[in-house]
Each structure stands twice: as structure tokens, then as C-alpha cells.
Amino acid sequence: MLTALELMANGNLRPSHLRAWEELWAGSTLELTGPDDLSRALIGCMFYLLSAFPSLHEAPGHFGGVSPGGLSNGGSGQDYWGHVFWDQDTWMYPSIGLFYPQLARAVLEYRVRTVDGAKDNAEKQGYKGLKFPWESAVSGREVCPEDIYGQQEIHINGDVTLAFQHYLYLTQDMSMFTEGRGSEVIWGVADYWVSRVTWSAEEQNYHILGVMPPDEYYYNVNNSVYTNTVAKFSLEFAVELAALLKYPAPREWQQVADKIKIPFDQKQKYHPEYDGYKKGECFPPLPTFT
């Protein structure tokens, strides 16, 4: 492959740049009926998102994930130092998954390459399976500067596995789970949830205690509705994948999935953010699952 300097020297840098973008846009043409501003905004969002991903022709092993700051450049706030968060798997991934399966797989393969670090994180916290870091870099070990986020914002595990689940449903590509070690991620996270829950004899269900929900203004709360829901999804997908691969799934995966607490206020007919949440307190918007 020619380097940028070689392309510049022979006058082909700009033409090659244009060809690369033409190829990308051919995969995600958006035609909207409505205000031009909306169309420009959506295309602009896709442009910046694609700018942070590797070329379609680049080996996925070189991909180090996407930071919420995109192509991080430091400066004030340091743009999270280029670390990878749940934003990659939850917010950035769906658009890429719909239009660019190859790039979507690169996201999953990045997580696969950090499995050893995720295993180390779980062991250090006294749990089984895999615990993906709240802030991830090359190794998969926790690199968040403040310990509480890595200890308590454990919904990251469900965010990671949800991306794998979306990939399978969108592409039907089982090779990610047979040859690409995706099953190791799914089953390792399931083992983590089983070791992380606590049985409540009073309520006759499983609780997840001492967490920070996506709403980071609160911490050390019990039964974050988002955390518990993605844990349930993780476990159910682990059972589903095991059936597809004819793998004997541990009974605990389905048992915990069936009995994990999903907070719901029967009187007011809504899901409180966590146990003890008072209706009216502000919290940020969360993803919608369908």
C-alpha cells in the first residue's frame, strides 16, 4: 500500500482520498424527506463517525476502538485520553452495524483482543468471567483515572455483549462466534453476571448491588434498572448462542435471567432508575431497546 507521502509526491493523494470516501458513501447513502438541515446533520454525523474508523481495506487487528471524542487530540479535558467507553458499543455501533458489517466486526474484534484484560479485571474484583473496563485502551485492563467508575459502572459488560447480539441479528454471521472468539466474550460476561448477583430471600429474585447507573450523579445504588436489564439481555443471549452452537449452557444463566429484578413501580406504572429513586429526579436519556 502506498504511503501518504508517496501519494502526495506523485499527485495522487487527493484523488485517492476522494475515491476512498466515494466507496464509503456508497455504503450508507441517506435520502431524507424534510428539512435540508436535518439531512446535512445526519450526513455530517456519519462523516465524523467514519473518520474515526479504519479504512475498509485495513486489517481489523490494527483497530484500537473508538473514543467518544472521536479522533482525540488532547487539550482541555484531554478528550478522555482517547479511551474507549460504552459509547462505542451503544451509541456509535448501531449506525456502523447497519451499513458497514466489516467495520462493525472490527469493533467486536477489538473487544475480543481485550479478553485477557477483562478476565484480570473480574478476578481483581473477586468475580468470575469477564469484566470489561469502563475506560478501555489496548490491554482491556481498567484505565479509568477514578476507581469508582471501573468498580461500579458495570453496565459496560451488557453494552459490549449487546453489540455482539446486534451483529449476529444484522448479519447472521456465525463465524464471529465460532472462529472469532465472540462466544468467549458472551459466555464470559454471563459467568460474570452470575457471580455478581445476590439472591434476595425477601423479594425472591436476584439483585445487583452497589453500582453506578449511566446517570453518574448517583453511585453505590442497588438494582439500576438499566444495569439489570442489560445483564438480563446478556444472559438470555448467552443461552440463545449456546443453543445455536450446541454448547451445554450452565443452568444458572437462564435462572438468573428469569429471576433478576427489573425495578417497576406498579402504582405509578414506570421503571424507577434504581431502588429508592424518587420520581422527578433528573437523569440522562438512555438507549431504547426493541
Name the region of 142 (left: φ>0; alpha: ψ -120 to 50; beta: rest): beta
Cell matching residue 215: 446517570
DSSP 250: -
Cα→Cα distances 110→28, 64, 85, 119, 237, Å? 23, 6, 12, 15, 20
Rounded to whole angstroms, the Cα distance separating 81 from 77 reads 8
Catalytic, out of 142, 216, 236, 273: 216
DSSP 162-203: HHHHHHHHHH--THHHHTSSHHHHHHHHHHHHHHH-EEETTT
Nearest by Cα to 1 from 20, 25, 26, 28: 20
> In this structure, how many other beta carbons lie within 10 angstroms of the beta carbon of residue 92?
24
Rounded (10°) CA dihedral 108, 110, 116, 122: -60
> Has 123 been annotated as catalytic?
no
> What are the residues whose beta carbons fall under 8 Å from the beta carbon of 126, sequence distance 6 or more?
none
**Helix, strand, coil percentages for the chain (3-state, nearest 5):** 50, 5, 40
Q: Using alpha carbons only, what angle is made at residue 111 by residues 129 and 156, rounded to the nearest 5 degrees?
A: 65
Strand partners, 270: 265
Contact between 231 and 172 under an 8 Å Cβ cutoff? The reply is no
- Residues annotated as catalytic are 216
